Amino acid sequence: MHARLTQIMGIHSNTAIFGNVGIIAIGDFYQCAPVASSSIYSSLLWSDHFEYIELKINERQKTNSSFSQMLNRIRKLKKKEDMSKEDRDSLEKCHQRYLHKEYHSESLHLFAKNIQVDAHNEEMIEKICTNIRTFYEVNRNDKEIKQNESKHTKKINKSLRLAKNARVMITKNICVNDGLANGVTGRIVEFVENNNAHVSHIIIKCDSPKVGRLHRVSCPHCHGRDTICVIRESDSIDQQDFDVRSRKAIKQFPLRLSWAMTIHKAQGITVDQVVISTKDFFGSGMGYTALSRVRTLEGLFLIDLHVDKFYCNENVDRILSQMKEIKRKTSIFRHSPEFLNILFHNIEGLKCNFNALRNHYLTWQADFICLTETWLNNNSQIDKFKINGYTLIHKSRSCSLSTNHPLHSQKGGGVAIYFRDDMPIKTIDSTEYLDLEHITLKLEKEKIIIIVCYRSPQEAKRNFIENLIRHLKQFDSNERILILGDMNENSFQTKSKNIERSLKKLGFVNTFRHLATTNSLTSLDSAYLNFVPCEKECQQVVETFYSFHEALALSINSIKDKVHNYIETEDDSDERMEVNSSSESLSSIIRISNNSNKRKSTSIGKKNNKKFKNKTLVPVMDKNNNNANHDQKNPDSSKITDVNKSPSTRELEFLSNLKETIPLNNLTIDDFRFHSLTEQLRGLNLRTITIVGDGNCFFRAISHQLFDTQAYHRRFRSDAITYITRNSAAFEFFVSGEDDTIYDYIHRMKRNYTYADHLIIMATASILNQNIIIHEYGKRPLLIPGSDYIDRQLHISYNPYNQHYESVKDFDGAIPIMSFDDLQLT
38 in a structural domain:
yes
Angle between helices 713-726 and 697-707 (to 10 degrees): 110
Predicted pLDDT at 656: 80
25 in a structural domain:
yes
Does 653 share its domain with 775?
yes
Contact 776, 798 (CB under 8 A): yes
Predicted pLDDT at 81: 92
Predicted pLDDT at 762: 93
Band the pLDDT of 204: cuts 50, 70, 90.
very high
Does 670 share its domain with 790?
yes
234 in a structural domain:
yes
Q: Which of 551, 567, 583 is the last residue of a domain?
A: 567
Rounded mean pLDDT, 125-147: 88
Whether residue 606 has pLDDT greater than 70 = no
Report how many helices (DSSP H) and strands (DSSP E) the chain contains, helices first.
22, 34
The angle formed by the CA atoms of residues 478, 461 and 439, to the nearest 5 degrees, is 50
Whether residue 506 has pLDDT greater than 80 = yes
Which of 275-289, 551-565, 743-757 has the highest average model confidence (pLDDT)? 275-289
pTM of the model: 0.53
- Count CA within 13 A, CB hemisphere, residue 338: 7
Does 696 share its domain with 748?
yes
* 475, amino acid identity: F
Percentage above 90 pLDDT, the chain: 48
Of 184, 153, 177, give the one whose Cα is nearest residue 255: 184
Q: Are strands 525-529 and 480-486 parallel, antiparallel or unpaired?
A: antiparallel
Of 449, 426, 452, give the one whose Cα is nearest residue 439: 452
Rounded mean pLDDT, 141-166: 73
Strands, sheet with 274-276, edge to edge from the N-terminal-most edge strand: 260-262, 108-111, 274-276, 300-302
Of 455 and 638, the one with more pLDDT: 455
Whether residue 470 has pLDDT greater than 60 = yes
Of 418, 378, 419, 407, give the one whose Cα is nearest residue 395: 378
* pLDDT, tens digit (0-9, with 9 covering 90-100), for 211-238: 999 999 999 999 999 999 999 998 755 4
Does 215 share its domain with 245?
yes
579 in a structural domain:
no
Predicted pLDDT at 588: 32
CATH number reported for the structural domain that contains residue 345 in this entry: 3.60.10.10
Does 380 share its domain with 286?
no
Domain that holds residue 35: 2-107+271-325
Does 430 share its domain with 285?
no
Whether residue 142 has pLDDT greater than 50 = yes
Rounded mean pLDDT, 651-658: 80
Predicted pLDDT at 640: 60
Q: Which of 246, 263, 280 is the last residue of a domain?
A: 263
Whether residue 150 has pLDDT greater than 80 = no
Region of 660 on the Ramachandran plot (φ > 0 left; ψ -120 to 50 alpha; else beta): left
652 in a structural domain:
yes
Whether residue 618 has pLDDT greater than 60 = no
* pLDDT, tens digit (0-9, with 9 covering 90-100), for 405-432: 999 889 899 999 999 999 999 999 887 8
- Mean pLDDT, the chain, rounded, equals 82
Distances, alpha carbon 550 to alpha carbons 153, 320, 513, in Å: 57, 34, 14
Does 250 share its domain with 187?
yes
Does 217 share its domain with 311?
no
Eight-state DSSP code of residue 341: E
Whether residue 778 has pLDDT greater than 90 = no
Of 224 and 587, the one with more pLDDT: 224
Band the pLDDT of 586: cuts 50, 70, 90.
very low
506 in a structural domain:
yes
Whether residue 623 has pLDDT greater than 70 = no
Contact 805, 697 (CB under 8 A): yes
Of 519, 635, 610, 505, give the one whose Cα is nearest residue 565: 505
User: Lowest-confidence range among 45-49, 96-100, 497-501, 749-753?
Assistant: 45-49
Q: What are phi and psi of 239, to 5 degrees?
A: -65, -25
C-alpha to C-alpha distance for 515 and 525, rounded to whole angstroms: 9
Whether residue 293 has pLDDT greater than 90 = yes
CATH number reported for the structural domain that contains residue 818 in this entry: 3.90.70.80
Does 451 share its domain with 402?
yes
Contact 555, 596 (CB under 8 A): no
Does 462 share its domain with 545?
yes
Predicted pLDDT at 148: 60
Band the pLDDT of 795: cuts 50, 70, 90.
very high
Band the pLDDT of 602: cuts 50, 70, 90.
very low
Predicted pLDDT at 149: 57
C-alpha to C-alpha distance for 774 and 793, rounded to whole angstroms: 10
Q: Domain tally for the chain?
A: 4
Does 226 share its domain with 308?
no
Q: Which of 284, 300, 325 is the last residue of a domain?
A: 325
Percentage above 70 pLDDT, the chain: 83
Band the pLDDT of 826: cuts 50, 70, 90.
low
574 in a structural domain:
no
Of 582 and 17, the one with more pLDDT: 17
Contact 802, 680 (CB under 8 A): no
Predicted pLDDT at 560: 57
Whether residue 210 has pLDDT greater than 80 = yes
* pLDDT, tens digit (0-9, with 9 covering 90-100), for 85-135: 999 999 999 999 999 999 999 999 999 999 999 999 999 999 999 999 999
Contact 290, 263 (CB under 8 A): yes
Does 369 share its domain with 311?
no
Predicted pLDDT at 264: 93
Rounded mean pLDDT, 314-318: 87
Whether residue 569 has pLDDT greater than 60 = no
798 in a structural domain:
yes
